[in-house]
């Protein structure tokens, strides 16, 4: 076992992690730990753009951007956070430009901007051009630019190191912290893929920037590695997760595959048509049509299919029509995604419409933080020395539905804030001694799976998990479907306790790591479904057919979900107000050796009163 000491340790080398690293490493000794080589992080797969009200091509301002974000999130957005993001967006884009990011340009040489869903002028009057982009490779350019700047600044990277535990001085999952006592994050335990060796990192500040959890679903735009690690590690240490029921289904995944075709395709003029050739979005969102927010478009598409107006031999998808666009325009603005259609479906987008269907895309929920990126341990108190930013976090700027291009923005704005806050804290804080056996839990877990002679296969359990999530917790949900998903998850959790791997070696044992990632997926799926069962209303990405309306009287609040030991009285464990309406199921959902407990956190409203959401 090796030990290391840094002022700031950042877990994750995607956009959020590297933006934080640039900030922190200019002030204090900083290390970045990443299970992937940094430029393989999912940020690099982002296509369409990053928004900021630069007003380079038409009138715009950050206040309209704030409003669109709040309305897009169906009013579950914390408005103070959204305002910060929209205001700081402009500098976030200019920072990247100064670092060398090659944005597309207008003929006058300014950063060009294009349309994206839900971004409007003057509170919904018409679509506005707000997304800055580099063809359909915006995320790739952001990731490369940040990485180059990290290298230039001599940031230390530990690549292909998997963080498998968070060390805290009070393990909240074991019980309640006495009143007035602090909880401190003191380190992380990591596994070096190349050697199988364990490394313990002691740090004054730890930033989680581990990205999303799309692999709980079968049909997803997310990379294989997006297994919710950071969220699950926090949950296992008794920290809450916020708003886990809200998962975004992106309208235009390649049908049957889930590979993403960016919303930029519609931003550049693409049109969705049903099997009859009808531009159906005119019925669902008469003003901005195909550029309505994703939750609305995804549901409209699924509804067309359910009502028998799908396209194709089984009428099970709709069509994205780009055939009216000039081939030269397609080549200039959408080169990668049109190539995906050719490669994976054998479709020529110049002349044929592309089959598409919603695909699991983005976790709106995650580790709760305040606007300084400090992690919350309940609705008020922070964990000292722990920060989170990017898709793993919930600030919450996306509420119940994220607008396209707001995530590349979020990772830059809140990644920077996390780096700044973590460095400032590290400058004044002292190292806290780690417990002697701080790696014991991880070592035991790894050895148990590695040495188990035979048992359940990781791929079988994962496949069944993803199938039940697709069938029961996707665009349309009901009490019945969610209970089915939870029952299936419980069976799979039991089977997981008997999981084994074929590779018994120590070096590059990806088999073993996939087994651990499956454990994270099961944890995240469980809380996603329980939170979805509890939220008996429809809002943003969470649509309950049995409760089709938004219910502000009972549910205008964030969900906070915790793990606690069985013996704990839930009312005393969680000091947040319980979610209303109360029900036995949601207050104490017992399983195995822990219980899942739900609490709530108020939504911060500043200037926008909730209204009915129409587009």
Ligand X SMILES: Cc1cc2nc3c(=O)[nH]c(=O)nc-3n(C[C@H](O)[C@H](O)[C@H](O)COP(=O)(O)OP(=O)(O)OC[C@H]3O[C@@H](n4cnc5c(N)ncnc54)[C@H](O)[C@@H]3O)c2cc1C
According to CB under 6 A, which residues from 244 to 283 bind ligand X? 260, 262
Pairing of strands 456-457, 499-500: parallel
Distance CA 425, CA 414 (A): 16
Among 43, 274, 481, 538, binds ligand X (CB under 6 A): 43
Question: 311 or 499: whose CB is closer to ligand X?
Answer: 499
Among 8, 13, 360, 499, binds ligand X (CB under 6 A): 13
In angstroms, what is the minimal distance from the CB of 509 to ligand X? 15
Question: 199 or 544: whose CB is closer to ligand X?
Answer: 199
According to CB under 6 A, which residues from 128 to 187 bind ligand X? 138-139, 162-163
Pairing of strands 374-376, 318-321: unpaired
**Pattern 224-243, binding to ligand X, x per CB under 6 A?**
-----x--------------
Tell me the torsion sign for CA atoms 394, 213, 562, 483: positive
Among 30, 47, 528, 557, binds ligand X (CB under 6 A): 47
According to CB under 6 A, which residues from 70 to 99 bind ligand X? none
Distance CA 293, CA 403 (A): 6
Options 19, 115, 273, 294, the catalytic residue:
294
- How far CA 58 is from CA of 39, 128, 129, 130, 191, in Å, comes to 33, 7, 7, 9, 50
Distance CA 101, CA 18 (A): 15
Asked if residue 120 binds ligand X (CB under 6 A), the reply is no
Size of interface with ligand X, in residues (CB under 6 A): 42
Sole window of 11-19, 74-82, 458-466, 486-494 interacting with ligand X (rule: CB under 6 A)? 11-19
Asked if residue 221 binds ligand X (CB under 6 A), the reply is yes
Task: Return the percent helix, strand and coil in the chain, to nearest 5.
Answer: 35, 25, 40
Q: Are 374 and 421 in contact (CB under 8 A)?
A: yes
Among 73, 124, 211, 355, binds ligand X (CB under 6 A): 211
Q: Is 294 a catalytic residue?
A: yes
**Pattern 17-36, binding to ligand X, x per CB under 6 A?**
x---------------xxxx
Asked if residue 124 binds ligand X (CB under 6 A), the reply is no
Instruction: Report phi then psi at 202, rounded to 5.
Output: -95, 135
Among 45, 166, 388, 529, binds ligand X (CB under 6 A): 45
Distance CA 461, CA 33 (A): 28
Question: 263 or 488: whose CB is closer to ligand X?
Answer: 263
Sole window of 12-20, 421-429, 468-476, 504-512 interacting with ligand X (rule: CB under 6 A)? 12-20
10 Å Cβ neighbour count for 532?
A: 25
According to CB under 6 A, which residues from 391 to 410 bind ligand X? 391-392, 405-408
Asked if residue 356 binds ligand X (CB under 6 A), the reply is no
Instruction: Report phi then psi at 603, rounded to 5.
Output: -85, 135
What dihedral angle (degrees, nearest 10) is formed by the CA atoms of 389, 221, 509, 233?
A: 30
In angstroms, what is the minimal distance from the CB of 33 to ligand X? 5
Give 89's contacts (C-beta < 8 A, 6+ positions apart): 51, 52, 53, 62, 65, 409, 413
Sole window of 41-49, 58-66, 107-115, 489-497 interacting with ligand X (rule: CB under 6 A)? 41-49
Asked if residue 11 binds ligand X (CB under 6 A), the reply is yes
Q: Using alpha carbons, select from 391, 426, 383 the residue that is nearest to residue 409.
A: 391
Distance CA 239, CA 133 (A): 36
Tokens of 114: 């294009």
Among 9, 22, 46, 132, binds ligand X (CB under 6 A): 46
Positions that interact with ligand X (CB under 6 A): 11-17, 33-36, 41-43, 45-50, 138-139, 162-163, 209-212, 221-222, 229, 260, 262, 362, 390-392, 405-408, 411
Catalytically annotated residues:
294
């Amino acid at each position: 076992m090796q030990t290391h000491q840094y002022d700031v340790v950042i877990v994750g080398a995607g956009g959020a992690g590297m933006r934080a690293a640039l900030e922190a490493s200019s002030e204090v000794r900083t290390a970045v730990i990443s299970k992937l080589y940094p430029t393989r992080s999912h940020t690099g797969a982002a296509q369409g753009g990053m928004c900021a009200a630069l007003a380079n091509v038409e009138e715009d301002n950050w206040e309209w951007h704030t409003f669109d974000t709040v309305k897009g999130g169906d009013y579950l957005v914390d408005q103070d956070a959204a305002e910060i993001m929209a205001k700081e967006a402009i500098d976030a884009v200019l920072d990247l430009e100064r670092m060398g990011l090659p944005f597309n340009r207008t003929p006058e040489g300014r950063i060009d901007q294009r349309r994206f869903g839900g971004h409007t002028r003057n509170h919904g009057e018409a679509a506005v051009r707000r997304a800055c982009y580099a063809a359909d490779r915006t995320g790739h350019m952001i990731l490369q630019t940040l990485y180059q700047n990290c290298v230039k600044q001599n940031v230390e990277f530990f690549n292909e190191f998997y963080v498998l535990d968070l060390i805290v001085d009070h393990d909240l999952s074991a019980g309640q912290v006495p009143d007035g006592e602090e909880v401190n994050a003191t380190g992380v335990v990591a596994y070096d893929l190349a050697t199988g060796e364990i490394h313990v990192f002691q740090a004054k500040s730890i930033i989680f920037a581990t990205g999303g959890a799309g692999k709980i679903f079968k049909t997803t735009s997310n990379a294989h590695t997006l297994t919710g690690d950071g969220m699950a590690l926090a949950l296992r240490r008794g920290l809450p997760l916020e708003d886990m029921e809200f998962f975004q289904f992106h309208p235009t995944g390649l049908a049957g595959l889930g590979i993403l075709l960016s919303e930029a395709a519609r931003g550049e003029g693409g049109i969705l048509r049903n099997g009859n050739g009808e531009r159906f979005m005119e019925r669902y969102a008469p003003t901005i049509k195909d550029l309505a927010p994703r939750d609305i478009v995804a549901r409209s598409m699924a509804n067309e299919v359910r009502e028998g107006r799908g396209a194709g031999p089984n009428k099970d998808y709709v069509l994205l029509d780009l055939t009216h666009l000039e081939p030269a325009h397609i080549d200039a603005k959408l080169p990668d995604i049109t190539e995906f259609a050719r490669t994976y479906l054998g479709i020529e987008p110049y002349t044929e419409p592309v089959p598409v269907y919603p695909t699991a895309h983005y976790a709106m929920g995650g580790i709760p933080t305040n606007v300084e990126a400090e992690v919350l341990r309940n609705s008020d108190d922070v964990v000292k020395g722990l920060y989170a930013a990017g898709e793993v976090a919930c600030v919450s700027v996306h509420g119940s539905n994220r607008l396209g291009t707001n995530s590349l923005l979020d990772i830059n704005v809140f990644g920077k804030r996390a780096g700044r806050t973590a460095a400032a804290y590290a400058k004044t804080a002292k190292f806290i001694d780690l417990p002697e056996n701080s790696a014991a839990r991880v070592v035991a877990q790894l050895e148990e799976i590695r040495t188990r002679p035979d048992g359940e296969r990781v791929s079988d359990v994962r496949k069944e998990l993803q199938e039940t999530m697709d069938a029961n917790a996707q665009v349309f949900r009901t009490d019945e479907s969610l209970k089915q998903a939870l029952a299936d998850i419980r069976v799979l959790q039991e089977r997981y306790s008997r999981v084994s791997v074929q590779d018994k070696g120590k070096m590059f044992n990806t088999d073993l790591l996939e087994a651990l990632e499956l454990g994270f997926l099961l944890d995240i799926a469980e809380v996603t479904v329980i939170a979805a069962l509890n939220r008996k209303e429809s809002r943003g990405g969470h649509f309950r057919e049995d409760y089709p309306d938004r219910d502000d009287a009972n549910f205008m609040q964030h969900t906070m979900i915790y793990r606690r030991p069985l013996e704990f009285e839930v009312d005393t464990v969680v000091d947040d107000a319980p979610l209303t309406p109360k029900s036995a199921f949601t207050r104490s959902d017992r399983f195995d050796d822990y219980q899942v407990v739900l609490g709530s956190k108020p939504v911060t409203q500043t200037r926008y009163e909730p209204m009915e959401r129409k587009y």
